[in-house]
Amino acid sequence: KQRNDHEPEFMQAVEELAENVIPFIVENERYYGKNLLLRMVEPERVLIFRITWVDDNGEIQVNRGYRIQMNSAIGPYKGGLRFHPSVNLSILKFLAFEQVFKNSLTSLPMGGGKGGSDFNPKGKSEGEIMRFCQAFMSEMYRHIGPSTDVPAGDIGVGAREIGYMLGMYKKLKNEFTGVLTGKGLSYGGSLIRPEATGYGAVYFAQKMLETKKDTIFGKNVVISGSGNVAQFAVEKALHLGAKVLTLSDSSGYVYDADGIDEEKLAFVMKLKNEKRGRISEYIETYPKATFVKGKTPWGIKCDIALPCATQNELNGDDANILLGNGCICVAEGANMPSTLKAVEAFQKAKILYAPGKASNAGGVAVSGLEMTQNSLRYQWTREEVDNKLKNIMSDIHKSCLKYGTCDDGYVDYVKGANIAGFVKVADAMLAQGVV
Ligand code: NDP
């Protein structure tokens, strides 16, 4: 605690896990007295580096780059890169820590890592984005590799940025390997990877509802964010017959009482992915919808909430409003979007609530499948990857039931995910000795 107290997001993630894992360790002699948690909270390696690049005005810009290599007990470090001005050590350590247990839950052989930069992609030209990505990789290339550390995308890093970084890696190393995931289809990417996190979160919500003999069909769904995860959460929710009422970005949210249908979603995808516009522009094309500036969408009445934007975007008050409005299910697409108070409120009310490390694991799972395809030099079809994704989400759900079902039948998905994720990493660490 002393060592990390100045890192609030990291402490939040550790506290959430420790609350479940410490009692489990105490009850299980195999794990007791080995200082496993103490070892897990300390990253194996933290890299911090200078990134210099030249902007369109010819001025030299300086950013800070990071890669947290958190835990490699069960496989090479694996986790995304985030480019956002809020990026700091605490945020990346929380993300890397969560990633360790999430990757373990997927049952694929991937350790945990995370990285990124405080670079702000908003308003940058194509050329500036490319030069920044190249500068980032010109340092990071020496620390990663297909059997060492395999980064991917996250906030501010999509297929475009992955392409530029892979290009630079290839040039510097003179080899073509699957060192990054989320690649374009023509150069080693996997079908369904862009869709995987959003689809996976909806598949997981569907599994949770099944435990109540219910489905997502006909439900009102509120979604935050309008990036990669949010877009494909909308798409899958629509496939399964739900009505999606909201989307958001950091400037506010849009509420469309008629529902965001496939045509409107196509508009949002173009707006966000090609024009790099703001969600407020939605109402210029669909004037029956409303835009609420500077607010999150949790006040809109719904059955299901899927937070898909960023950490701590849903607080205790928001949780109480959702509950008051009759929300029965919350599945996190983002990482740690609910504050500890919000989680407490959901659990007290005993609604279906899944933490990101379980419900958003679909993205990294398909990244794992991308690594497999790269190693095999082969490409699975859309259906093959989608089926594997569905099975992995279903298996994660089973693991949550195994460790999280309480005496009264309530499923504590936080506990289930934390313990199931912990056990595999702990077993591997014990087998490998003190290293
Ligand atoms: P994108 O960059 O594609 O989209 C992020 C979205 O969240 C944008 O709409 C963005 O709005 C909004 N957002 C970002 N920061 C804030 C903020 N501080 N306040 C309000 N809104 C914000 O990222 P992704 O969709 O890839 O990631 C979203 C979340 O999902 C993150 O928590 C990420 O860690 C998590 N995740 C992503 C995975 C993936 O495969 N991509 C896998 C697992 C988890 P704006 O454009 O205004 O910034």
Q: Which of 425, 385, 378, 375 is nearest to 146 (CA)?
A: 375
Q: How far is the CA of 28 from the centre of ligand 1 (A)?
A: 38
Task: Give pLDDT, residue 84.
Answer: 98
> Would the annotation count 102 as a binding residue?
yes
Assess whether pLDDT exceeds 80 at residue 385. yes
Q: What are residue 74's phi and psi, to 5 degrees?
A: -110, 0
- Tell me the fold of 8-177: Rossmann fold (3.40.50)
Task: Give pLDDT, residue 5.
Answer: 85
- Say yes or no: CB of residue 355 within 6 Å of ligand 1: no
Q: How far is the CA of 130 from the centre of ligand 1 (A)?
A: 20
**pLDDT tens figures, 289-348:** 999 999 999 999 999 999 999 999 999 999 999 999 999 999 999 999 999 999 999 999
Residue 122: CB atoms within 10 Å: 11
d(CA 130, CA 53) in angstroms, rounded, equals 10
- List the CATH code of the domain at 194-359: 3.40.50.720
Q: How far is the CA of 189 from the centre of ligand 1 (A)?
A: 21
**pLDDT tens figures, 143-166:** 999 999 999 999 999 999 999 999
Task: Give pLDDT, residue 2.
Answer: 77
Cα 73 to Cα 17, 42, 98, 108, 422: the distances in Å are 18, 13, 15, 12, 11
**pLDDT tens figures, 177-208:** 999 999 999 999 999 999 999 999 999 999 99
Assess whether pLDDT exceeds 80 at residue 277. yes
Q: Which of 230, 246, 352 is nearest to 289 (CA)?
A: 246
d(CA 233, CA 231) in angstroms, rounded, equals 5
Task: Give pLDDT, residue 86.
Answer: 98
Structure tokens of 68? 């947290």
Mean pLDDT computed over 214-243: 98
Q: Are 361 and 102 in contact (CB under 8 A)?
A: yes
- Say yes or no: CB of residue 153 within 6 Å of ligand 1: yes
Distance of CA 300 to the CA centre of its chain: 24
- Say yes or no: CB of residue 246 within 6 Å of ligand 1: no
> Would the annotation count 69 as a binding residue?
no
> Would the annotation count 107 as a binding residue?
no
- Say yes or no: CB of residue 120 within 6 Å of ligand 1: no
Task: Give pLDDT, residue 245.
Answer: 98
**Sequence ranges of the domains in the chain:** 8-177, 194-359
Task: Give pLDDT, residue 313.
Answer: 98
Task: Give pLDDT, residue 113.
Answer: 98
d(CA 271, CA 273) in angstroms, rounded, equals 6
- Say yes or no: CB of residue 99 within 6 Å of ligand 1: no
* pTM of this prediction exceeds 0.95: yes
Task: Give pLDDT, residue 99.
Answer: 98
d(CA 349, CA 342) in angstroms, rounded, equals 11
> Would the annotation count 72 as a binding residue?
no
d(CA 152, CA 215) in angstroms, rounded, equals 32
Assess whether pLDDT exceeds 90 at residue 3. no
Question: Residue 398: which pLDDT band, with cuts at 50, 70 and 90?
Answer: very high
Q: Whose CA is nearest to atom 29 of ligand 1?
A: 334
Establish whether 114 is a catalytic residue: yes
> Would the annotation count 374 as a binding residue?
no
Q: How far is the CA of 116 from the centre of ligand 1 (A)?
A: 13
Q: Which of 363, 9, 416 is nearest to 190 (CA)?
A: 363
The best mutation among 94, 250, 251 to test binding of ligand 1, ranked by most ligand atoms within 8 Å of the C-beta, falls on 250
Catalytic residue selected from 93, 114, 219, 424: 114
Mean pLDDT computed over 40-50: 98
Q: Whose CA is nearest to atom 4 of ligand 1?
A: 227
The identity of residue 117, as a single letter, is S
> Would the annotation count 124 as a binding residue?
no
Assess whether pLDDT exceeds 80 at residue 366. yes
Cα 352 to Cα 106, 243, 306: the distances in Å are 20, 19, 12
**Same fold flag, 8-177 and 194-359:** yes
Mean pLDDT computed over 2-16: 93
Q: How far is the CA of 371 from the centre of ligand 1 (A)?
A: 23
- Say yes or no: CB of residue 335 within 6 Å of ligand 1: yes
Ligand 1 atom closest to the CA of 336, numbered from 1 = 32
Assess whether pLDDT exceeds 80 at residue 1. no
d(CA 132, CA 357) in angstroms, rounded, equals 30
Mean pLDDT, rounded, of the chain: 97
- Say yes or no: CB of residue 304 within 6 Å of ligand 1: no
- Say yes or no: CB of residue 198 within 6 Å of ligand 1: no
Mean pLDDT computed over 20-33: 97
Q: What's the number of CA atoms in the CB half-sphere (13 Å) around residue 2?
A: 0
Q: Which of 99, 98, 91 is nearest to 75 (CA)?
A: 99
